Structure 1
Amino acid sequence: MQDIAGTTVLAGAGKMGGAMLTGWLARGLDPQRVIVVEPSPSPEISALAAQGVRLNPQGTATADTLVIAVKPQTFREAGPRLKPFVDPTTLVVSIMAGTTIASLQAVCGAKVVRAMPNTPAAIGRGVTVAVAAENVSAAQRAAADALLKATGAVEWIDDEALMDAVTAVSGSGPAYVFLLAEELARAGVAAGLPEALAARLARETVAGAGELLHRSELPAATLRQNVTSPGGTTAAALDVLMGHEGLQRLMIRAVAAATARSKDLAK
């Protein structure tokens, strides 16, 4: 990771922070230039100390990049403890939902990138959306991009106000897909399938369809149409799912609810 210079401090090494750290090391970031601040490290994170990662070192060192991956509700308490890592040149990258650039600047300094990853980052298949403060340099943006790409794709936006909708679509989106697998399995049981078989069929169908969508350059609508024969079984099901009170209206309401909650968290 040649774009990453100096010392990188990771504050918070839970599931998402841990996934990012694993990705950085796999991509060649020198572990001796990584400091992890995590009060309750997992055995996996503790084991990385043997590779040279500095875990909860005594004292503080100024970070070239500080990545904040703590829970948003703990930031007010944790933020002041992170400030000693920051000087006027430090880049702060936050993956905390609902925490604005202005809030981060007030606590940790002015050079801030706000990012929203999602849980497939744990297997390197996440997608992260990021927005940078105006005073972030091109080199710092490149460094943030390299760190975030360690867990999957990265999209950049210019308008921070879009982050609430981003959180609702991609940040929370994996839960919607998992719910689809749950409900598809339940529907299979209701149609007469054994529970275990229905669960396996639903799981593999959702996973396979997702992989096909990932590999194909065709729009999702075209892939759907390719499965649907006029007057066939799929068309009968889609008449229900795409009806007046179907999936489209439910998804609009769901994303709107998540967007509103994200805005509430920022207050």
Structure 2
Amino acid sequence: MKVGMIGTGSMGSTLLDAFIHFGALQPQQLFISNRTIKKSLALSERHEGLNVCRNNVQTVRCSDVLFICVKPLQFPSLIQEIKDDVRPNQLIISITSPVQLAHLENSLCCKIAKVIPSVTHKVGSGASLVMYGSRIEENDKQFLHDLLSSFSKPLEIKESQARINSDFSSCGPAFMSFFLSKWIDAAIEMTGSSREEVTCLASEMILGTGKLLTQGGLTPLQLQELIAVPGGITAQALLQLNHNLDGVFHQLITTTHHKYDEDVKELDKLFGRPEIN
């Protein structure tokens, strides 16, 4: 199986590294192209045997499966560039949330899927969100599931739920890191604690919490109840957090969904089709 990748920026290179590091693919199976060839060459130095293509059309021609890892508004021009070289039996996978399956199925003759990855794949963890177009067959689903299972937990979702699920799986690590950063800064400012020590404690806490919620079978509410003894320190602090954060997460979801809707509407225009509801 030959797998192509157009776009080797932050998330594209994360996927490529995960494919190789966790044994899903050998470098010799991968064909890549990027707007800045220096990035592709740097990856080929890191992974001996990786195939660097001279342009995107060559990547398409060399691949059975193709991941497109470019920014949303770059898709229409890229599709125009490669569409005449796409084959009906190819599987093309977008990793860009606002680009709809319908955008690609109306523009290309091949099988289409969408995968929303996470930076957590760097350490062989996290969920990868998977959506399938109308031409996908069961063997395509099995191939993609097996490929992604090497470093993530693939979850098939409805495309209409892509944004809210991405808030947790893809954006979530940044949101949680922001919360921790603010907490750590406050601890240092108020107590003079060592940043290195507090950061280590916070990181280990996040790791252990994740295991309790996955391997330990606890829900977030059950975990709070397990720790927060009535009238105790944790319970008092949770009351304060509940008061101060009232409405914050509704605003967060409103913000991410508003940006997503803006991008989809712009892509509708660029792809020359009516807006998708």
- TM category, shorter: 0.7 to 0.9
Structure 2 CA distance for partners of 1:195 and 1:140, relative to 1, 3 Å: same
How far apart are the structure 1 equivalents of 2:119 and 2:251?
Answer: 22
Q: CA deviation at 1:93?
A: 0.9
Quote the RMSD (CA, aligned, Å): 2.4
Correspondence for 1:63: 63
Determine if contact 1:189/1:195 at 8 Å carries over to the other structure: yes
Correspondence for 2:45: 47
Report percent identity of matched pairs. Answer: 22
Q: CA deviation at 1:236?
A: 0.6
- Which stretches of structure 1, 4 residues or longer, exceed 6 Å deviation after superposition? none
1:182 aligns with 2:181: yes
With 146-155 and 75-84 compared, the bigger mean Cα shift is at: 75-84
Structure 2 CA distance for partners of 1:32 and 1:46, relative to 1, 3 Å: closer
Correspondence for 1:89: 89
Determine if contact 2:92/2:112 at 8 Å carries over to the other structure: yes
Give per-residue Cα distances to partners, 1:174-215, cap 9 Å, x unaligned: 111101111211332353233624444434433442344343
The aligned runs of 1:1-267 (5 Å cut-off) are: 6-25=1-20, 26-40=22-36, 41=39, 44-47=42-45, 50-51=48-49, 53-57=50-54, 60=58, 61=61, 63-157=63-157, 159-194=158-193, 196=195, 197-243=197-243, 245-246=244-245, 249-267=247-265
Q: CA deviation at 1:28?
A: 4.5
How far apart are the structure 1 equivalents of 2:235 and 2:41?
Answer: 49
3-state SS of 1:97 partner:
coil
How far apart are the structure 2 equivalents of 1:44 and 1:237?
Answer: 48
User: Could you tell me the TM-score, scaled by structure 1's length?
Assistant: 0.85
Determine if contact 1:92/1:109 at 8 Å carries over to the other structure: no
Ranges in structure 2 where 5+ consecutive residues have no aligned partner: 266-277
Structure 2 CA distance for partners of 1:73 and 1:129, relative to 1, 3 Å: same
Q: CA deviation at 1:84?
A: 4.8
How far apart are the structure 1 equivalents of 2:194 and 2:78?
Answer: 45
How far apart are the structure 2 equivalents of 1:204 and 1:43?
Answer: 36
Length, aligned pairs only: 258
3-state SS of 1:194 partner:
coil
How far apart are the structure 2 equivalents of 1:49 and 1:124?
Answer: 18
Determine if contact 1:120/1:126 at 8 Å carries over to the other structure: yes
Give per-residue Cα distances to partners, 1:32-65, cap 9 Å, x unaligned: 33211123325651225632x2111476225321
Determine if contact 2:86/2:110 at 8 Å carries over to the other structure: no
Structure 2 CA distance for partners of 1:8 and 1:42, relative to 1, 3 Å: closer
